[in-house]
Each structure stands twice: as C-alpha cells, then as structure tokens.
Chain A
Amino acid sequence: AQTVTQSQPEMSVQEAETVTLSCTYDTSESDYYLFWYKQPPSRQMILVIRQEAYKQQNATENRFSVNFQKAAKSFSLKISDSQLGDAAMYFCAYRSYNTNAGKSTFGDGTTLTVKP
C-alpha cells in the first residue's frame, strides 16, 4: 500500500515571501500521479497542482511549483510571493495510474499561516 507523509504539521510565511511544503511518499509503482490540494477555512478542497510521475519536468501553476524527485520519492510544493489568501491546510496526495477506481492516498496535511 502507498503512504504519503507530510512532516510539517504547521508552517508560517511572511506575506510576499516564499515557502516550501514537504511531502514524501512510498510506492513500488512506476506510474502514478501526485497532487497538492488546498483546503481553506471554507473547507472545500481545491486542486493546486498535479504531477504525472512519467514527466521529468516539474509542474508549475502561476505562483505554485513543485520539486518532484522521483528517485527520492519526494514531492515538495513551493509557493512564491505568498498571499494572505494562501492561508489554508495543504494536502499532498498520491494516486496510482493503474487503478480504475482512482482512489487517492492523502498525507496528514500542513497548515500554512501567512503573516501580513
């Protein structure tokens, strides 16, 4: 079974600064997806960024980028120019490429605080 570990329960960053959230995972599969989701206080989960394991290039979405190290099984999220609206709980998730059901395994989450 796959596991996802987020070792930082809480992080804080100054507005306009950069913060990196860490995520490691364990799998024996070679094809899979990795995701970062954001859950703001409103509680609805929102997809932040997605990475296919077969792609060597790191995914980027505006101020959000990832550092995907497949051999090390590491998938960190970098948030640049942090904004107050980035404050939320962030979940790293793994999904097997091969499963028809599309079940995802989530990490325990990192609560990000953005200080004005």
Chain B
Amino acid sequence: GAVVSQHPSRVICKSGTSVKIECRSLDFQATTMFWYRQFPKQSLMLMATSNEGSKATYEQGVEKDKFLINHASLTLSTLTVTSAHPEDSSFYICSARRDTGELFFGEGSRLTVL
C-alpha cells in the first residue's frame, strides 16, 4: 500500500519556540493533504486542508497564523506550530489523498511543549 511518513515522531520544545512537522507521501503524489490533531483516546480533529501550490484551508476555530501550513510540492506538506505553548501539546497526524480518493495516514507526531 501507499506510504505516508511524518517526521519527527516525537518532539519536545520550550514554550515560545516554533516546531516544524513534515508529512511526505513516499510513493505517490498528493495534491491534497490533511492535518489533524488528536487528544488521547479521542477522535481526529481536522485542522486544515493543505493544497499543493495554494493556501491551506483552515477549519473554523483553527488559528492560521499559529499553525502554518506549506504544501510546496506534490509529496511534501509541512505544519509549523509557531510560538508554541503547553496547550499546543498534542498528537498531530497528517494524511495524504491519493488520486484514487483513498487517504493514507502518517505515523503521527507527538508534540510536547514545556
């Protein structure tokens, strides 16, 4: 099956710093990728839709200046959490949509802000 990889899988940072998470589709091109946030034992909350070559579409309530998304190529989308605070600590997951319409998920990235 298709492979989507996220990096880093775990990151710890100090409050006020910025953290970048990468999402790569390794064996297919993805014009659309999605970023989710997941709290323990809860469902995925869609944060934004990342479109290659254009601005991301953010869900209501998600601060676009806080969570910067860049989809610079057909195989890479990045999520940058700017000026991170402890309340941003969470599990962030990306998915990439293949041309068949199926979604393939990354392994997730655990962010801990001290």
Contact = CB atoms under 8 A, between A and B. Distances in A.
A45 B101 contact: no
A91 B43 contact: yes
Contacts of B104: 47
Nearest to B6: A44
B95 interface: yes
Nearest to B34: A103
Contacts of B51: 101
The A contact surface, by secondary structure, is strand
B93 interface: yes
A102 B43 contact: no
B114 to A, nearest CB: 22
Interface residues of A, number: 22
A91 B106 contact: no
Nearest to B97: A102
A44 B108 contact: yes
B96 to A, nearest CB: 10
B43 A45 contact: no
Interface of B: 32, 34, 41-44, 46, 49, 51, 57, 91, 93, 95, 97, 101-108
